Amino acid sequence: MKKKLGKFALIFPFLLWMVLLIVVPLFLIAYYAFTTSDGNVLHFTFDNFKSFIRPNFIKVLIRSLKLSLFATVICLFAGYPVALILSGNAFKKKALLLVLLLAPMWMNFILRTYAWLTILSEKGVLNSLLEAAGFNTRSFLGNEKAVVFGMVYNLLPYMILPIYTSISKIPHSLIEASYDLGSSSYGCFKRVILPLSLPGILSGITLVFVPGVTTFVISDYLGRGKVPLIGNIIEQQFSSGIEWGFGAAISIIVMFVVILCMRIINKFTDEPEVTLL
């Protein structure tokens, strides 16, 4: 009995945190999404959800999923080799590489995104260099490519770190055993390292895909407001201050779509302990 109480005391701060900052806000969002008030009388309603079912809103949601998926795939293919190199012994200055990887994350996310405006804008650093080298200047911002670029730039570390952790945890004896049994280095990667790093890949995908779908800062700055994502539509409902119910309803729709996407991704692995949802 006493032991149980001790355990509870340990988990209590986290429970309190969960309830106050996760469960209560979720209920609030549901409350706003499903109610409408005329005067002082509250009504239960599905109207906020119904008003989302229009071609242009659905298109924005599909665009968000599409761009975030692109960014996730790029992050995976660019990030996996980095994680592999980091966890191996081939690279001597591992600590330095890790610091280089993490250093941008110590800076404010909005500031980092804003800084790209100075580099990529019409009169920006990159265009000045192009001009000096005799090339035509170009417009890099205000399109879907710029938004995907921003997502990859900001979210790449979130792909690398979980993969790095899961590869580092693979016992070296397993890799040695695969070589002893006559495996090539490709075979070892395919049959030992890749399957065992799957949990890392899955958390990496979640950590990149979900913030990518819901971002609104990147599309505001690098997309110059011309590539609205679902996050922008949600933000607009709250910042304009009058459509909270609609904003809350879209948030719930996005949550369900994201959960659905994660379930599909999880289908690719049959190990129950790495299932995320």
Partner 1 sequence: MKKIALLLSIAMLALILPGCGSSKTKLYVYNWGEYIDESVISDFEAKYPDIKVIYETFETNEDMYTKIKPGDDCYDVLIPSDYMIGRLIDEDMLEKLNFENIPNYSYIDDKYKAWDYDPTNEYSVPYMWGVLGILYDTTKVQEDTFTWNTLFDPKYKNQVLMKDDSRDTLGIALKSLGYSMNSTDENELKEAENKLLEHKDNYFGIVGDEGMDMMVEGDAPLAVMYSGDAARCISENENLAFAIPEDGTNYFVDAMVIPKNAKHKKEAELFINFMCETDTALKNVEEINYSTPHTGAYEQLDAERRNSFQYPGEDVLKAADVYNYLGSKEKLRSEIWNDYTASIAE
Q: Which residues make Cβ contacts (< 8 Å) with residue 213, sequence separation at least 6?
A: 64, 65, 68, 229, 230, 231, 254, 257, 258
Instruction: For the segment 54-93, give every residue that binds partner 1 (CB under 8 A).
Output: 54, 56-57, 59-60, 63
CB of 231 to partner 1, least distance (A): 12
Q: Which of 204, 212, 228, 231 binds partner 1 (CB under 8 A)?
A: 228
Nearest to partner 1 of 88, 225 (CB atom): 225
CA 107 to chain centre: 18
Stretch that binds partner 1, among 115-123, 158-166, 171-179, 254-262 (CB under 8 A): 115-123
9-17, 176-184, 190-198, 242-250 -> range binding partner 1 (CB under 8 A): 242-250
Of 184, 166, 162, whose CA–CA distance to 175 is shortest?
184
Q: Which of 167, 246, 251, 252 binds partner 1 (CB under 8 A)?
A: 246
Q: 57 vs 70, which CB is nearer to partner 1?
A: 57
Please give the distance of CA 79 from its chain centroid, rounded to a whole number.
14
- Find the binder of partner 1 among 76, 84, 160, 233 (CB under 8 A): 233
Phi, psi of 36, rounded to the nearest 5 degrees: -140, 150
CA distances from 209 to 25, 68, 70, 148 (A): 22, 6, 9, 11
242 binds partner 1 (CB under 8 A): yes
CB 198 within 8 A of CB 269: yes
The two structure tokens encoding residue 86: 């980091």
Site string for partner 1, 18-57 (x = CB under 8 A): ---------------------------------x--x-xx
Q: Is 121 in the site for partner 1 (CB under 8 A)?
A: yes
Q: 137 to each of 59, 134, 150, 199, how far by Cα in Å?
A: 32, 9, 20, 44
Q: Which is nearer to partner 1, 108 or 239 (CB)?
A: 239
